[in-house]
């Protein structure tokens, strides 16, 4: 990443807190975004991610903390003086202005000649591939096209920062996928620092340089997508980003081992708990090894297949470890197997299957985690 450059951070948040009446929306958020970086605020609705974006934009005023842009303290500046472009979920295109007038909107109040404005508008419309729609009204465009106009309008005055507030949420799945790609490409080409808010973890994983996972007004984890996915810091992150199986366990006598029902499992090193402490183990569905391959691994178990869901490229198995039979089913596991691999197994519902929970994939958290 570019974070090590000596230039000041494009956006630096320090101790941002916000409350609405008695409701605390954000608690002491400190964060920095490097120049040219694409960062995603990810979290469920109500986690404070949009409020944080609006505080950066100056559309919401924080109760405490400072916002800096490129080293300049902008905490006290109204939105118009902060130099950013913003795209909203609703597009917020001006319906009475044509596409080119929309894009020109932010240029017309600057000292620019009409010819220079027209050139800039053409340039941006070409960039988002809408040159031939310049004289249409927003209502005559599809949702994806409208959102691209909104993007062009936000970028027209060459802002130092681009803010995207759930820009893809109002679009249907297929358009969302292609526009995701397009926005990311555009951002790379222009090198504009970008902050995007989303509740869609797949979107965040696919687009961001770094993800800021938020929950209940707090930052749970900041990291590159692969890092957040592989090494979630909290059970909340583990659950929110990707799929995750959770197992209630008790720390065993040996360090690095935990007991689930009757079996002892070895988990990732680096987590210490006193013997007898409750903890939560977590493993992703695709990390569970099944069939003959499982016979050689550590943490071997036998599991009964209780349900099979065909999901196209892979098959999701619901498993109940046989060792745990008679318990209340808390240790039910879901496991994703490639469709072809599942066919090779030649088993179906009700069959028993050897499985292994690789210790390097089996994460351990304190049992009191918010989502455990």
Partner 1 sequence: MSVRAPAAAEIPDGVVRHRLSGEDGIRWALVAAFAAVLLLFLLYPLGQVLWRSLLDNGGRFIGAANYIRYFSTPAIAASITNSLFVSAASMVLTVALAFGYAYALTRTQMPAKGLLRVIAMLPLFAPSLVQAFALIYVFGNNGILTRATGLNVGIYGAKGIILAETFYCFPHALLILMAALAATDARLYDAARTLGAGPLKTFLTVTLPGVKYGVVSACFVVFTLAITDFGAPKAIGGKFSVMATEIYNQVSGQQNFTMGATVSVVLLVPAVLAFVVDRLVQRRQYALVTSSSKPLVPERRPLADWSLLAYCALIAGFILAIYLVILVSSLVHRWPYNFGLTLKHYDFDTAGGYRSLWNSIRVAALTAVAGTALAFVGGYVVEKCRTAASGPLYLLSVLPVSVPGMVLGLAYIFTFNAPGSPLNALYGTLAILIISNVVHYFTVGFLTATTALKQMDAEFENVGASLGVPFYRTFWRVTVPIALPSIVAISMYFFLNAMVTLSAVVFIIAPGTELAAVAVLLMDDAGDTAQAAAMSVLIIATGLAVRSVYWLAMRGVTRRTQAWTQGGAAVGEPS
Please report, for residues 45, 97, 169, 179, 241, the alpha-carbon distance to residue 147 in angstroms, rounded to integers and kept in the order given. 22, 15, 11, 9, 26
Q: At 109, phi and psi to the nearest 5? A: -95, 5
Least distance (Å) between residue 163 CB and partner 1? 8
Least distance (Å) between residue 140 CB and partner 1? 5
Please spell the DSSP secondary structure of 19-76, one letter per residue: EETTEEEEEEEEEEE-TT-EEEEE--TTSSHHHHHHHHHTSS--SEEEEEETTEE-TT
Q: In the complex with partner 1, which residue's Cβ is closer, 196 or 356?
A: 196
Length of the chain: 372
Q: In the complex with partner 1, which residue's Cβ is closer, 94 or 325?
A: 94
Q: In the complex with partner 1, which residue's Cβ is closer, 24 or 250?
A: 24
**Sheet of strand 72-73, all strands in order from the earlier edge strand to the far edge:** 23-33, 11-20, 64-69, 72-73
Please report, for residues 24, 218, 354, the alpha-carbon distance to residue 27 in angstroms, rounded to integers and kept in the order given. 7, 6, 46
Q: In the complex with partner 1, which residue's Cβ is closer, 60 or 264?
A: 60
Q: In the complex with partner 1, which residue's Cβ is closer, 89 or 299?
A: 89
CA-to-CA distance for 227 and 260, rounded, in angstroms? 27
Structural contact between residues 289 and 341, judged by C-beta atoms closer than 8 angstroms: no
Least distance (Å) between residue 313 CB and partner 1? 29
User: Which stretches of the chain bind partner 1, using CB under 8 A?
Assistant: 17-19, 22-24, 27-28, 57-59, 61-65, 75-82, 84-86, 88-97, 105-106, 108-110, 137-141, 146, 153-154, 156-157, 159, 163, 170, 217-221, 233-234
Q: In the complex with partner 1, which residue's Cβ is closer, 111 or 189?
A: 111
Least distance (Å) between residue 3 CB and partner 1? 20
Least distance (Å) between residue 96 CB and partner 1? 4
The strand ranges marked E within 139-270 are: 161-165, 193-198, 210-215, 218-223, 245-251, 257-260, 263-266
Least distance (Å) between residue 65 CB and partner 1? 8
Q: In the complex with partner 1, which residue's Cβ is closer, 33 or 303?
A: 33
Least distance (Å) between residue 255 CB and partner 1? 22
Q: In the complex with partner 1, which residue's Cβ is closer, 77 or 131?
A: 77
Least distance (Å) between residue 284 CB and partner 1? 21
Contacts of 95 (CB under 8 A, 6+ apart): 137, 138, 139
Least distance (Å) between residue 366 CB and partner 1? 12
Least distance (Å) between residue 294 CB and partner 1? 34
Q: In the complex with partner 1, which residue's Cβ is closer, 140 or 302?
A: 140
Q: In the complex with partner 1, which residue's Cβ is closer, 86 or 281?
A: 86
The strand ranges marked E within the chain are: 11-20, 23-33, 38-42, 64-69, 72-73, 84-87, 161-165, 193-198, 210-215, 218-223, 245-251, 257-260, 263-266, 278-283, 288-290, 300-310, 314-321, 333-338, 352-357, 363-366
CA-to-CA distance for 39 and 154, rounded, in angstroms? 17
Structural contact between residues 44 and 215, judged by C-beta atoms closer than 8 angstroms: yes
């Amino acid at each position: 990443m570019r974070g090590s450059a000596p230039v000041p951070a494009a956006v630096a948040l320090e101790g941002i807190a916000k409350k609405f009446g008695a409701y605390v929306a954000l608690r002491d958020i400190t964060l920095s975004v490097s120049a040219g970086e694409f960062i995603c605020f990810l979290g469920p609705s109500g986690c404070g991610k949009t409020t944080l974006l609006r505080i950066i934009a100056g559309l919401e005023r924080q109760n405490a903390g400072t916002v800096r842009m490129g080293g300049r303290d902008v905490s006290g500046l109204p939105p118009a003086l902060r130099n950013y472009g913003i795209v909203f979920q609703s597009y917020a295109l001006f319906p009475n202005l044509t596409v080119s007038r929309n894009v020109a909107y932010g240029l017309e109040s600057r000292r620019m000649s009409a010819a220079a404005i027209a050139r800039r508008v053409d340039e941006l419309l070409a960039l988002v591939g809408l040159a031939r729609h310049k004289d249409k009204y927003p209502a005559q465009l599809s949702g994806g096209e409208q959102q691209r106009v909104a993007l062009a309008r936000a970028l027209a005055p060459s802002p130092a920062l681009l803010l995207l507030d759930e820009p893809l949420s109002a679009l249907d799945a297929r358009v969302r996928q292609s526009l995701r790609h397009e926005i990311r490409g555009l951002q790379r080409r222009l090198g504009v620092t970008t902050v995007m808010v989303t509740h869609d973890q797949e979107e965040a994983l696919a687009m961001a340089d770094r993800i800021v996972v938020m929950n209940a007004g707090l930052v749970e984890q900041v990291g590159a997508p692969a890092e957040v996915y592989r090494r979630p810091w909290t059970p909340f992150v583990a659950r929110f980003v990707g799929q995750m199986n959770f197992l209630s366990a008790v720390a065993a006598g040996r360090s690095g081992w935990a007991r689930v029902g009757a079996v002892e499992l070895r988990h990732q090193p680096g987590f210490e708990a006193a013997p007898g402490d409750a903890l939560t183990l977590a493993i992703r569905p695709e990390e569970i090894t099944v069939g003959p391959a499982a016979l050689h691994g550590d943490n071997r178990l036998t599991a009964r297949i209780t349900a099979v869901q065909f999901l196209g490229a892979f098959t999701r198995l619901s498993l109940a470890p046989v060792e745990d039979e008679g318990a209340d089913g808390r240790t039910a596991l879901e496991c994703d197997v490639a469709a072809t691999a599942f066919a090779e197994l030649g088993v179906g519902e009700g069959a028993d299957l050897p499985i292994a929970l690789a210790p390097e994939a089996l994460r351990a958290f304190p049992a009191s985690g918010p989502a455990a």
